Chain A
């Protein structure tokens, strides 16, 4: 029991003493996950809206594939991205493997189906109703789209927060494509995994506290922005 308490004491000391390595890792993790989430949102939100509202052949199959992709294990995505980026792979010439860019690509592939899937599901159920209402009340295309975004903005927020939560907390994909290289591609999750395997619990606990804090902050922001209401009406 003592070593756990000792771990917490050490962890707080590490955080408040301004350990450079730890802060470097936090900054890199936030940068990678925020970039991957932003890219996924920029593509996934319009794609989810569009495919949810539009009627097209094989839409059911598309939905099934999308929902399956939402649950793909990160390690599988890491493996696929690592194969594509490896020297002998089709994108090997860009020498991206074991770089932060590779981790951004892997996290982007991981969260894109999440953002698209959440928006697709909601737009499929509610989008048509909103657009039909806007149309019957005399709204033009731009006004209809504005209304749709306004009506579904909590879903967009939910998609962003879910995607970021998934990106910041995953370990398998970044481990495979980043390599957990100290000072270069070491992320919060891979740092916890590494120190845990070495028995350096205080460092693992310190990073776990930071991850929990980030989680709390995200929730607080979401709650504030939605006025404490449910994410999806």
Chain B
């Protein structure tokens, strides 16, 4: 249930991003990717998910993987329809699954909106729906791009709790792109910092992010 990157490089037309990156994202801990804007965090996440192809190198996923972006696309239909969609694909629409969806909707604070058209929701509400949609089919690998960026502080705690359970109880692999170092600390994970170094972009792994918190 891990992600293994071997010699992964990516460049856009006028911009070189990370070069020859290798690393293993292990299950059971929160793998947090941090870095300045435009350094390639989302690109790395999309490469891991298979949406983007790396210029060189390989990414090996051992398990079913899902990705939720920072400005997620809402399907036509209600909040319920959106969260049910992955289960519809797997033909799991029984009473038990519906109950699980309703439970998730409640945990995400979306019960009042469950019959509302998903396209009419606010950015934060859409993010919650995307999170529910990603978690509902219980993938082994979860890739989240700034999952709580637009969400109100009172709800962030709930979501972090849900993610911790996802990690600890189910021992899944979680990779989160975040700007919030406090959140990285709360999720007590492994930190992957993408930064510029000698006109190059490097990715550094830190097992203990406390030092990083203190110096910022």
Contact = CB atoms under 8 A, between A and B. Distances in A.
B51 A138 contact: no
Interface in A118-158: 126, 129-130, 132-133, 135-139, 143, 147, 150-151
Interface stretch (B84-92, B104-112, B154-162, B170-178): B84-92
Contacts of B89: 137-139, 143
Nearest to A147: B75
Given A133-B73, A133-B75, A138 B67 contact: no
B51 A135 contact: yes
Interface string B68-101: 1000110110000000011001100000000000
Contacts of A133: 72-73, 75
B90 A138 contact: yes
A233 interface: yes
A136 B76 contact: no
Interface in A190-231: none
Nearest to B46: A132
A138 B75 contact: no
B75 A136 contact: no
Nearest to A146: B89
B73 A130 contact: yes
Which has the most chain B C-beta neighbours within 10 Å: A137, A143, A150?
A137
B73 A129 contact: yes
A136 B51 contact: yes
A133 B139 CA distance: 14
Interface in B104-146: 119, 133-134, 137, 139
Interface residues of B, number: 21
B177 to A, nearest CB: 15
A225 to B, nearest CB: 14
A227 to B, nearest CB: 11
B73 A138 contact: no
Contact of B49 (A136, A139, A143, A147): A136
Contacts of A150: 76
A138 B76 contact: no
A137 B73 contact: no
B191 to A, nearest CB: 24
Contacts of B85: 137
A137 B137 contact: yes
B119 A233 contact: yes
B26 interface: no
Given A147-B75, A233-B76, A138 B119 contact: no
B119 A136 contact: no
Contacts of A139: 89
Contacts of B134: 136-137
Nearest to B86: A137
A136 B67 contact: yes
A6 B50 CA distance: 70
Nearest to A130: B73
A25 to B, nearest CB: 41
Interface string B51-66: 1000000000000111
Given A136-B66, A137-B66, A137-B89, 6 more contacts: A130-B75, A136-B51, A137-B85, A137-B134, A143-B89, A147-B75
Interface of A: 126, 129-130, 132-133, 135-139, 143, 147, 150-151, 233
19 contacts: A130-B73, A132-B51, A135-B51, A136-B49, A136-B51, A137-B66, A137-B86, A137-B133, A137-B134, A137-B137, A138-B66, A138-B86, A138-B90, A139-B89, A143-B89, A150-B76, A151-B75, A151-B76, A233-B76
For the complex of A and B, the 9 pairs showing the least CB-CB separation, nearest first, are A136-B67, A129-B73, A137-B86, A133-B73, A136-B66, A132-B51, A139-B89, A136-B49, A143-B89
